[in-house]
Amino acid sequence: MCPPSNLYTQLTPRTQEVLQAIAKAGRPPIATLTAQQAKEAYALGAGILEAPIPVMARDETLEISVRDGSQLRAKLWSPNPTNGSAALPVLLYFHGGGFTVGSPETHEGVCKQLAHLAQCAVVSLDYRLAPEHKFPTAHRDAIDALKWLTQHAQTLGLDAQRIAIGGDSAGGTLTAATAIGARDAGIALRLQLMFYPGCAADHMASADTFAKGFLLEKDSIDYFYGHYLEHPSHRKDPLFSPLVEANVAGVAPAWIGLAECDPLVDEGIAYGDHLRMAGVTVDLEIYKGVVHSFIQMGRMIPEALTAHADAANALKKAFQRKESV
């Protein structure tokens, strides 16, 4: 479905082209698919619009232990080899996909772009997905992976004193929750980096403004949350909706990148304000005329490349600070 005509002019010409091509393809709305069909469709579509992906010196698979004894897969990508190189700072990345779809491979392009531009390693976690694994499994996997990384960074040739966390969409939600958990666990992070995170217990105004025709749709958000949450009341849990968390003082500085024409844009703005009110340093960028998931469309949408560069610059500055916050 194409966007309503009165909002269509807000989109950049390239974004309009992308949405027109998607509409012409005639794929069924994701909210009409089974969870398994959604996983397969998302994986097939990943990477099609990515910009050329940098080659990494390290491309490794890790096994991360979590609290229930499970071993989670993660990918480690680094622009520098281990031997003879100084320990690199590292970004722990949580992919998007509504807690239901996605993997490190669907977000490989974004992760490698950030690794290349920020000259850091990226560890991308294959956290467990709904509907097989309900809330708060993914949230627990995220904080457990961070704790594991702080303990094993040195053996991986990474700098345990320079760790950032980040993610997009549902991965941005996990980032916000993990930053709060890191503060409570006494883990110093250099940065929490979030692309268009979901943060609120209820839909905000932008969910109605951009309800249909802007790639991510309001119905799709409810579809994903319905798979992950055992009960609707869980949307009001501070772990799931960080805007409900009254105390965010002392969490890591934040960089937030938002798409202007996104059902979630108001949630990202509100969370940035929530952090600022608690004294947290926030750098928030709104990329005009683009939609949710635009950072994975660098071949078609130039704002994706700008966002990659902005996020990488935020990481570089955070890693160059003398001390963790």
- From the candidates 169, 206, 241, 293, give the one annotated as an active-site residue: 169
266 is catalytic: no
Q: Which of 103, 262, 293, 308 is catalytic?
A: 262
Q: What CA–CA distance (Å, rounded) separates 7 from 108?
A: 32
Helices (H) and strands (E) in the chain, counts: 10, 8
What does the longest C-alpha to C-alpha distance in the chain come to?
Answer: 58
Are β-strands 88-94 and 71-78 bridged in parallel, bridged antiparallel, or unpaired?
A: unpaired
pLDDT in tens, the chain (325 residues): 555 667 889 999 999 999 999 999 998 999 999 999 999 999 999 999 999 999 999 999 999 999 999 999 999 999 998 766 789 999 999 999 999 999 999 999 999 999 999 999 999 999 999 999 999 999 999 999 999 999 999 999 999 999 999 999 999 999 999 999 999 999 999 999 999 999 999 999 999 999 999 999 999 999 999 999 999 999 999 999 999 999 999 999 999 999 999 999 999 999 999 999 999 999 999 999 999 999 999 999 999 999 999 999 999 999 999 864 4
Supply the pTM of this predicted model: 0.97
Report the distance separating Cα 201 and Cα 198, nearest Å. Answer: 9
Structure confidence at residue 324 (pLDDT): 44
Give the fold, CATH level 3, of 5-320.
Rossmann fold (3.40.50)
* Catalytically annotated residue among 116, 139, 292, 308: 292
**Residue 65 designated active-site:** no
**Interacting residues of 245 by C-beta distance below 8 A, sequence separation 6+:** 180, 238
Buried residues in 119-144 as b, exposed as e (16+ CB within 10 A) = bbbbbbbbbbbbeebbbbbbbbbbbb
CA 181 – CA 142 distance, rounded (Å) = 10
Residue 274 annotated among the catalytic residues of the structure: no
Q: What is the pLDDT of residue 325?
A: 44
- CA nearest neighbour of 102 among 230, 216, 8, 202: 216
Q: CA nearest 264: which of 307, 217, 311?
A: 217
Give me the pLDDT at residue 86, please.
87
Is the four-CA dihedral 226, 259, 113, 154 of positive or negative sign? negative
HSE at residue 50, side-chain half, CA atoms within 13 A, is: 16
Cα–Cα distance, 180 to 187 (Å, whole number): 10
Q: Report whether 258 contacts 251 (CB < 8 A).
A: no
- pLDDT the model gives residue 287: 98
DSSP, res 323: S
